[in-house]
Amino acid sequence: MSDNTITTSEAPPADESAVSTGALAAVRRWAVVRIRKSFRELGLFAALAALWVYFGLKSEYFFTTDNIFNILLQASNVAIIAAGLTVVIIAAEIDLSIGALQALAGSVAAVVIIRYEVPVAIGIPIALGCVVLAGAISGFLTWKVKIVSFISTLAMLGIAQGAALLLTNGHSVYGFPESYRKIGTSNVYGVPTPAIIALVVFVALHLLLTRTTFGLKIYATGGNAEAAAFAGIKVGRVKLIALMISGLTAGIGGLIVSSRLDAGNGLFGAGDLLGAVAAVVIGGTSLFGGVGSVVGTAIGVVIITTINNGLVLLAVQDFWQQIVIGCIIIVAMMLDQLVKSARLPGFLR
Amino acid sequence: MSAVSAAAARQMRTAPVLEVRNVAKAYGAVQALQDVSLELYAGEVLGLVGDNGAGKTTLVKCVAGILRPDAGEIHVNGELQQDLTAEAARRLGIEVVHQNLSLIDTLDVTQNFFLNREIVHRGSVARRMGWMNKRLMYRQARETLDSLGLTLDPQRLAAFLSGGQRQMVAVARAITWGRHIVIMDEPAAALGVRQALQVLAFIRLLSSRGVAVIFISHNMQHVLQVTDRIVVLRHGENVGDLVTAKASAQEIVTLITGSNLSVNGGDASD
């Protein structure tokens, strides 16, 4: 469109970052953009570093390899379901069923593999398929029946929880084969396998959100569903797929829990919802949709697990952990408000 | 705008790019459009005027595939469009600058500029996965904005743009992608004098490229300045189809309000 240039007498007032030229300015511009975009993540890293220094000084055991792998192992489960939840929340929906879906996936796996002696390689896809289907049902209700996801996934929480308890008759179904137990208990060069699975899930979802057109559709849908629809994005379908993704991650989480505990139980993993929501929120993903990242969520999970772990090492009574995490959510939200109310130097906004 | 070029276009291509036939649309008990017909030819600028609630925006949404008319037909490039969706309308080269609702605040200028039309990497796998070529997207967005004389940081979030800048991004998007029909719903309402003139210049540019434009505005001066033809809606009906060169502001205002008010009287000019 070279000859179509319209020469207006003056361009609108240029903003500082758009006009600078030269190599140095380019580097500066790049740095400003990076910092501006990752400001929230940088703050989280700082908070995490502060926690590590504090616990490291307080407890000799904190920085041992054993303990670090222990933190990773503890974190991986909630991390995986929180990653899927992040995708849903960016699309301006919520999935309250993820804890129950974990329990359901573990129970289905246990019943199918242990009771019906189905091979592990077939039992796993069956278990995952069930929870992805559950996510799809929630998504379908949200899309076509216009039941908000807060309600449709709340209903799914009850259904999945009840189904899991029914399948297992309210007991634990024990005795997975060796190959299944390995998912949660083995390690690769000392790194627990669940932590590696979590890493793979995070990298995959991070690339999906930041590199693919579908990821952009998720942000667009959460940012302004009406404008997205005007642009031809099928927002209902986007939300459906987001809920299927969180179903899948909940399923993976459920397999890991049941493998580590060597049993399927209608209650295993059912209580992880709050931890996951906390991690997502601490990680800077907005509950209003359109804003957030799985990187933030990963840091949020590590922060929560670090605090839990550190408090245990310092022999603080268990019950304090939940109070501390509740307080941290409040502080994180207050910091968010501060960032939004724009008390930052201009170049960061 | 020259009525000559439109007349020439009409001769060159006898079939209209857009033909709306007897379209009706109701929201519950409210009849927003009834039996509206109009034609639009390549390179023509059509002014769509009417009072608030006359059905202008509803008509636009029907043509853009956002609303489905209860009755009537919409033909684009001579073909009847059944079940026109927003996506299908885009593929047909129809672009709309929506009133107030053009940009997504949480996305940046470039993401808004492309929105659902992202550039993906070559190769069948990359295309299947929708793997975006971000570098190319940001470069193209910057080049396009520059070529239109808009100095904007392509990485700036829409939330941090001024009202005028937002509108200009929406307009830039429409004129970049609108191959056949560009519809602008009050594009100059949020703009200062200079930017409003810039929008009018863009409309002329589109017309000179052979793109048909529907221009909705309450500003009679702008309408008379830039359009070839004017369609007046009142209470959801097409009450007038006039050639701009032969129309007077007085005449148009009379059609809009349905009564003979003086243009200079306080009531008619808003």
pLDDT tens column, A70-82: 888 888 989 999 9
Element (DSSP H or E) covering residue B241:
strand B237-243
Q: Among residues 145-174 of chain A, which lie with CB inside 8 Å of chain B?
A: none
Residue A12 counted as domain residue: no
Residue B267 confidence (pLDDT) above 50 = no
Strands lying side by side in the sheet with B30-40: B30-40, B18-27, B71-76, B79-80
State how far the Cα of A235 lies from the Cα of A249, in Å rounded to an integer. 21
Chain A residues near residue B197 by CB distance under 8 angstroms: 8
Residue A17 contacts B, CB cutoff 8 Å: yes
Q: How far is A257 from chain B (nearest CA, A)?
A: 31
DSSP reduced 3-state for A176? coil
State how far the Cα of A61 lies from the Cα of B113, in Å rounded to an integer. 53
Q: Say if the Cβ atoms of A18 and B120 lie within 8 Å.
A: no
Residue of chain A nearest B60, judged by CA positions: A230
Which candidate, A66, A89, A72, A63, places its Cα nearest to that of A256? A72
Residue A79 counted as domain residue: yes
Q: How far is B95 from chain A (nearest CA, A)?
A: 9
**Contact between residue A269 and residue A106 where contact means Cβ atoms under 8 Å apart:** yes
Residue A215 counted as domain residue: yes
Q: Which residue has the tokens 């439109």?
A: B6
Q: What is the mean pLDDT of chain B?
A: 87
Residue A4 counted as domain residue: no
Chain A residues near residue B202 by CB distance under 8 angstroms: 6
Interface test with B, best of A20, A209, A213, A226 (most B CBs within 10 A): A213
Residue A1's pLDDT band, with cuts at 50, 70 and 90, is very low
Q: Using CA atoms of B193, B138, B143, B92 in order, give the dihedral in degrees to the nearest 10.
A: -80
pLDDT tens column, A258-279: 999 999 999 888 888 988 998 9
Residue A249 counted as domain residue: yes
Q: Using CA atoms of B5, B11, B14, B17 in order, give the dihedral in degrees to the nearest 10.
A: -10
pLDDT tens column, A292-304: 999 999 989 998 8
Residue of chain B nearest A223, judged by CA positions: B106
pLDDT tens column, B57-111: 999 999 999 999 999 999 998 889 988 999 999 999 999 998 877 799 999 999 9
| DSSP result, A283-304 | TT--TTSS---HHHHHHHHHHH
State how far the Cα of B169 lies from the Cα of B109, in Å rounded to an integer. 7
Residue A346 counted as domain residue: no
Q: Say if the Cβ atoms of A33 and B155 lie within 8 Å.
A: yes
Q: Which domain holds residue A43?
A: 38-338
- The structure's pTM equals 0.86
Q: Say if the Cβ atoms of B168 and A1 lie within 8 Å.
A: no
Cα angle A251, A257, A260 (rounded to 5 degrees) comes to: 140
Residue A8 counted as domain residue: no
What single DSSP character describes residue B158?
G
CATH code of residue A286: 1.10.3470
Residue A326 counted as domain residue: yes
**Contact between residue A245 and residue A82 where contact means Cβ atoms under 8 Å apart:** no
**Contact between residue B102 and residue A227 where contact means Cβ atoms under 8 Å apart:** yes
Residue A12 contacts B, CB cutoff 8 Å: yes
Q: Say if the Cβ atoms of B103 and A4 lie within 8 Å.
A: no
In total, how many domains does chain A have? 1
